[in-house]
Chain A
Amino acid sequence: EAQVTQNPRYLITVTGKKLTVTCSQNMNHEYMSWYRQDPGLGLRQIYYSMNVEVTDKGDVPEGYKVSRKEKRNFPLILESPSPNQTSLYFCASTRDPTDTQYFGPGTRLTVL
């Protein structure tokens, strides 16, 4: 089954404690992306990757890091989380930006 998986689905942490949210896709897609979704603001793109070892900043990259060492994986790293990073995070992948973008199930992060 074609899918994008994210882990964990729910995470409660404290300010400053480094965390990683994993994302994996099994569709051999070139393009992967991370978004955050906040009430009234819609989805905002954090980082995206056009291919292995190629990553670019989206609209709201501050406080986040990503890496693309393998085509299927695109982890999101918060080196020092802060409460304003409390949000619902989605990973997505697609063959290219004009094609169907498949979203993962989401990770709800709370930073205390």
Chain B
Amino acid sequence: TQLLEQSPQFLSIQEGENLTVYCNSSSVFSSLQWYRQEPGEGPVLLVTVVTGGEVKKLKRLTFQFGDARKDSSLHITAAQPGDTGLYLCAGVTGNQFYFGTGTSLTVIP
């Protein structure tokens, strides 16, 4: 059961550009998390959003949780090569985690 759809699946941009990654579902989640994963490593948590409509900022990254707690977005301002990686959203419902399909981001210097 794939509850979370991420888009785009792949994204290749120039350094300095802005981008947005979307995480959509028809299900309601009690919380939603965003992770970044480097090749050969496990995912690392970036942020957790809990309240519908919540916006969190982490330096150049802005995370938003939809009002209905069914979707989320990740916006990166002025992308840098160090932002390159696989971005994963994960919704929590009950005590289970449901991960999105992932967005592979490449930032070209």
Contact = CB atoms under 8 A, between A and B. Distances in A.
Contact of A97 (B6, B41, B92, B100): B92
Interface residues of A, number: 27
A4 B42 CA distance: 10
A7 to B, nearest CB: 14
B86 to A, nearest CB: 9
**Closest 4 A/B residue pairs (Cβ):** A103-B42, A43-B99, A42-B99, A42-B101
A40 B101 contact: yes
Size category, B interface? 20 to 34
B52 to A, nearest CB: 15
Q: Is the interface of A mostly helix, strand, loop or mixed?
A: strand
Contact of B95 (A4, A56, A59): A56
A30 B98 CA distance: 19
A50 B33 CA distance: 19
A112 B53 CA distance: 48
Interface of A: 4, 31, 33, 35, 40-45, 48, 50, 56, 58-59, 90, 92, 97-106
B96 A106 contact: no
Residue with the highest number of chain B CB atoms closer than 10 Å, among A41, A58, A99, A103: A103
Interface string B94-108: 011111111000000
